[in-house]
Amino acid sequence: MPVTLVNPAGLPAIDAYRQVSISSGSRLVFVAGQVAWDAEGTTLGEGDLAAQVEQCYRNIGTALAEVGGTFEDVAKLTFHVVDWTPDKMPQLMEGISRGAAATGAVSAPPATLLGVAALDIPEHLVEIEATAVLD
């Protein structure tokens, strides 16, 4: 596996992600920000943050599979959430849990959460981009 995840002593251990990823692979994969679209471009889970996060994970999984990767190869995730407030954390975590279950993701790579005013269309509540490393 080209990605090793670490929680260094002296930094908080966060359940949802690890603080550091060490990559040893030879190919970087940058997955464009994924939204809650199906293959036809229809938005799924309108108004439901957890459902949209799950669909984003499914889309990232599809993109990675196309190039021979899985979520185990992900070195970094970036979440862009519309009108973020801390009270949305349970919905976000539910979506991550459902997305991980749907894609077989067991790792928790470093992640960044950004609150944004809007995304491409009003129906999209979240966009997730991934960086992966493949051997």
pLDDT of residue 59: 97
How is the chain split into domains, by residue range?
Answer: 28-134
Give the 3-state secondary structure of residue 49: helix
Interior/surface letters 43-65, b for 16+ CB within 10 angstroms, e for the rest: bbbeebbbbbbbbbbbbbbebbe
Q: Is pLDDT of 24 > 90?
A: no
The pLDDT tens digits for 91-111 are 999 999 999 999 999 889 999
Burial of 113 per CB tally in 10 Å (0-12, 13-18, 19+)? middle
Helix axes 49-66, 89-103, angle to 10 degrees: 30
Pick the CATH number of 28-134 from 3.30.1330.40, 3.40.47.10, 1.10.3720.10, 3.30.1360.200: 3.30.1330.40
pLDDT of residue 23: 87
